[in-house]
Amino acid sequence: MTFEVILQFFILFFCRPIHISNSVTNQSVIMSQNLSEKINDVLVDRQLSISAITRELKDKGFVEHRLVLTGYLRALRDLKKLQEIEIPPSKVYKRLEYPEKCTDIYSIVGDQIKSLDMEMRLHLAIFIISRLFKRPVFREELLHLGINNKSVANCLESSTCMISVSRDENLKLYRTEITRIPIPANDPAYEIKAEDAHLISMANVVLVDTIKDLVDISGLTPKTKQTKLVEM
């Protein structure tokens, strides 16, 4: 199955309801509704680290142990209520405004590739997002994918780097047409210099695994071991 075919399946299923396993549902039952609401309040229109969220909650008179709060945040992430963004050495969290309707694309792709080394994560992120949106990928978007500016700079200096700074004459237009997230003026964009078979193969796995996460395929697949992205 080619990358383009898998990409079409991904687009088809992207906004479908997400199946949540019983284990995750049980977490939501245990979770304090009061704490969940307070976390949502402090994350309105911003993204914060665990330490910052802890301080904000304390200022509002809600004191909770950091380990307990970390568990709540991860549960909210698993329930697709929050997006977890890795900005080394920390992780930050932001609200997903419409989790019941459509999960954030950057969170979806970022979760699928976060186990890989940073350079491959960057290559895959730019390859998939650029093919999905049919345009270069802006630096701000990479931040939402958990890829920081230093990682991009390191990759550009590497002899194995497969990306380059985009010189697309329509970048200014693209910035204004993106309304889901704010793209700063003059924000650089990146594109893949040259595709190779391994990159395309890994991108296929990412999209197939993503579709599996978006739809309930229980009872349809064999119980034998499945190939994982990290095994390729």
Task: Indicate the pLDDT class of residue 2, thresholds 50, 70 and 90.
Answer: low
CB 191 within 8 A of CB 166: yes
Average pLDDT over residues 82-98: 79
Q: How high is the pLDDT of residue 15?
A: 43
Q: What DSSP element (H or E) covers 163?
A: strand 163-165
What does 51-119 look like in DSSP terms, one character per residue?
HHHHHHHHHTT----HHHHHHHHHHHHHTTSEEEEEETTEEEEEE-S-TTT---HHHHHHHHHTTS-HH
Q: How many residues does the chain have?
A: 232
* Higher pLDDT among residues 101 and 196, named by residue: 196
pLDDT of 214: 72
Residue 5 CA from chain centroid, whole number = 22
- Chain-centroid distance of CA 170 in Å reads 25
Distant-in-sequence contacts of 44-50, Cβ < 8 A, 24+ apart: 44/95, 46/94, 47/83, 47/85, 47/92, 47/93, 47/94, 48/92, 48/93, 48/94, 49/90, 49/91, 49/92, 49/93, 50/90, 50/91, 50/93
- Whether 92 shows a pLDDT value over 80: the answer reads yes
pLDDT in tens, 142-184: 998 989 999 999 999 999 999 999 999 999 999 999 988 899 9
Q: What is the mean pLDDT of residues 22-49?
A: 66
Q: Confirm if 3 and 131 have CB atoms less than 8 A apart.
A: yes
Reported pTM: 0.60
What is the spatial distance between Cα 208 and Cα 136, in angstroms, rounded to a whole number?
A: 22
| 14 or 129, higher pLDDT | 129
Query: Mean pLDDT over residues 77-90, rounded?
Result: 79
What the block records as the tokens of 1 is 């199955």
What is the CB-side half-sphere exposure of residue 97 using CA atoms within 13 A? 6
Query: What's the pLDDT at 11?
Result: 56
Which residue type occupies 57? L
Whether 128 contacts 137, CB under 8 Å = no
Q: Which residue's structure tokens are 């204004």?
A: 176
Q: Report the alpha-carbon distance of residue 104 to residue 67 in Å, rounded.
A: 26
| Helix/strand/coil for 210 | helix
How wide is the angle at C-alpha 73 spanned by C-alphas 69 and 74, nearest 5°? 120
